[in-house]
Amino acid sequence: MIVAEYLNFGQLTFELILNYTFLVLLWTLLMLGTYQLLSRLKRFKIASILLFLLCLLLVTVPLLFLLYSLNFDHPLSQEALYAVFQSNSNESVEYIEKFIRFPYLLLFFATPLFMGFLIHKQERVIASKINTPLMVVMTFILSITLCQQISNFRLPNFILEHFDKYNEELALFHEVQAKRATGELSFQATKESKGETHIVVIGESLNKNHMGIYGYLRDTTPHLSKMLKEHKLLLFTNTYSNHTHTVPVLSFALTEANQYNHKNYYESLSIVEILKKAKVETYWLTNQNIYGEWDNMVSVLASGADKLMALNHTIGCSVQTQQYDEALIEPLEAILSQPSSKNRVVFIHLMGSHSVYGSRYPEDKFSIFTKDLNETLFGKSALINQELNRYDNTIVYNDYVVSSLLKAIEKQKGVASFTYISDHADDINRDLGHSKDRFTYEMTQIPFLLWFSDEYIKKYPKKYGRLLQNRDRLFSNDMLYDTLIGLFEIETKKYNQQYDLSSKAYNLKPKDALVLHGKRHYTEATNHGYWQKVNLAYLREHKLLDRVIPCNIATIGTRHQVVESGFSKFLKEQKCKKSKILSLGDIDFIEKLSKELKIIKREDEVLVYYESDFNL
């Protein structure tokens, strides 16, 4: 208990140590009294079981804190607890299997088992006579003392306080939505045009840096890449997620709350409410769990749609996929086959690339990548991560599903659009998943693509033109709510055009871009992937790609990325002059480059190199 307190909350006080000492003493007295009473009644089995449960109750909470802080080298956070409250038992087991190291699992299970063994050894041993009146008095005094100090026990209080806060937020979200549904809280939203159809697909855990359409060395998106070459898609290159967990991401992405307006999601309007107010038919198709005792904000939104279809009927107790994501194609086709003069929006929530990766696709058809990872191809990733093949297979399957959904809407006549965006990404190269407490910017690297019918482009040419212009602009998915309102051409005061990517007023300055709900800046110096893009753009704009040579390009993977970036030359080994080595992912790259270029006398002379810091 003391170690768990120190690792998670820092400074210990004498009073705190004394309180925990009293707590353990009280528990000991309770166990002694229980054993004494039951052993005299010859109820040895019952005594052993009760004593074991009392021990388990005492150590489980500190063991959980200890396990988390040791494994992740980070105190247990509110976000981690919320993720537990929003998950289900099977999902938690899957997460433990993948990300909790064996020695700490052994510690967690061995401690209560060892206590159980000691208790079992006491079975059928008649308890020595104990001064019962004295024990009762001590128990009473300790109980009264600890009741007065209960607020000082930070370990259990941390869990209870956040559990209460989570339930309060969810209850308030229910309450506010109910009031709006009955008209108690009024707002306006209208749409003039009729007969439009829009599809919004929400992916899961998909990292765009593992998609062929974004330049990945493996062809993981053959269908979408073909559509892009045929100029059917708008691909956005600088999109990132506002958080690394699904519910925090969608609580902002699908409501008017975001990282910049400081609104609470549970007091905010949702995109579903806006659409329904504008007399737009809403559908929600999902392959994720949405009901049960782990009810969360996403399930509240889904149940608010006019029509809800959930393929996963495990009632919140499992995330084991009963059906693969392709099962959502037929229901969408059925909806689209029904002629309607009304406006329609269909939300589709995929299971996508959620771990455990091997269970997210039909192995017989989509086990494309099965060979052992080659270090010459993938570098260090090949040594630390054997899940990369399965993850890439989920993306191949996701490409099939998303392109099939897109083909369904392509057949529609009239004004139509298709939006695909992921909630967050997994840092698969480092095998870190997407835990906020092990945050890397790789966990925010999400895909975002749009498709529009010819009729849409003709009807809204300025909007389409602005989207073309903004393809490389920085965009966080907590602004999806306003962007969708803009795309659907809905009139409402519950909208801010500054957050709408299709608006001429859209303006997210890099210095203002936030992540983790405002706790970090996206353009920090440690976000090397972002600065790599910025610096590459500078080199292309100033025609300097031929004068800057990547060096130490040791793997096929990095060579592929170097060529994809537009470089014509590179050095396989570290042959650069140390004084001339620059890092492309350095925030000061352009400044350092300018100084080096001033030294060069001839325009065709190449003296400036940079050290590769690509993903592989």
pLDDT tens for each residue of 24-39 = 888 888 888 877 777 7
Where among 145, 163, 181 does a domain terminate? 163
Q: Are residues 85 and 223 in the same domain?
A: no
Q: Which residue has the tokens 């989920």?
A: 394
Parent domain of 584:
528-611
Closest CA to 86 of 300, 328, 232: 300
Q: Report yes or no: 319 and 292 within 8 Å, Cβ to Cβ.
A: no
pLDDT of residue 362 exceeding 70, the answer is yes
Among 24-33, 163-172, 186-195, 529-538, the minimum mean pLDDT is found in 163-172
What pLDDT does 292 receive? 42
Measured distance between the N- and C-terminal CA atoms of the chain, rounded to whole angstroms: 42
Clarify whether residues 342 and 489 are in a common domain. Answer: yes
> Is the residue at 458 inside a domain?
yes
In terms of Cβ atoms closer than 10 Å to its own Cβ (0-12, 13-18, 19+), residue 474 is: buried
The pLDDT > 90 percentage for the chain reads 46
105 and 214 together in one domain: no
Is 158 in the same domain as 197? no
Residue 80's region, left for phi above 0, alpha for psi from -120 to 50, else beta, is alpha
Among residues 454, 455, 452, 431, the alpha carbon closest in space to that of 443 is found at 431
With contact defined as beta carbons under 8 Å apart, do 225 and 215 qualify?
Answer: no
525-559 confidence digits (pLDDT tens): 999 999 999 999 999 999 989 888 888 887 888 88
Decide if pLDDT at 318 tops 60.
Answer: no
Nearest in space to 246 (alpha carbons), one of 477, 22, 409, 430: 477
Query: For residues 11 and 413, what is the distance between their CA atoms, to the nearest angstrom?
Result: 66
> Do the domain assignments include residue 176?
no
489 & 348 share domain: yes
Is residue 104, in this structure, part of any structural domain at all? yes
* Mean pLDDT score of the chain: 86
Give the whole-angstrom CA distance, residue 349 versus residue 368: 24
Q: Kindly tell me if the per-residue pLDDT of 319 is higher than 50.
A: no
Q: Are residues 272 and 365 in the same domain?
A: yes
Are 141 and 198 part of one and the same domain?
no
Within-domain flag for 38 = yes
Determine the residue type at 351.
M
Co-location of 293 and 412 in the same domain:
yes
Assess whether 482 and 532 both reside in one domain: no
Helix (H, G, I), strand (E, B) or coil at 539: helix
- How many domains are contained in the chain? 3
Residue 6 sits at φ, ψ, to 5 deg, of: -65, -45
Task: Find the angle CA(408)-CA(409)-CA(410) to the nearest 5 degrees.
Answer: 90
More confident residue, 281 or 119: 281
On whether both 83 and 207 belong to a single domain, the answer is no
Per-position b or e across 85-124, b if 16+ CB within 10 A of its CB: bbbbeebeebbeeeebeeebeeebeebbeebbeebeeeee
Quote the distance between the C-alpha of residue 294 and its chain's center: 17
CA–CA dist 95, 576 (Å, integer): 43
- Quick check: is 616 in a domain? no
- Do both 404 and 456 map to the same domain? yes
pLDDT at 65 over 60: yes
Q: Say whether pLDDT at 92 is over 70.
A: no
Sign, CA dihedral 203-206-208-212, equals: negative
In a domain, 129, yes or no: yes
Q: Give the pLDDT score at 189.
A: 95
Q: What is the CATH number of the domain that holds 229?
A: 3.40.720.10
Which among 445, 474, 494 is the end of a domain? 494
Whole-Å CA distances, 154 to 259, 421, 437: 29, 39, 20
Do both 418 and 338 map to the same domain?
A: yes
In a domain, 554, yes or no: yes
Task: Please indicate, yes or no, if residue 485 is contained in any of the structural domains.
Answer: yes
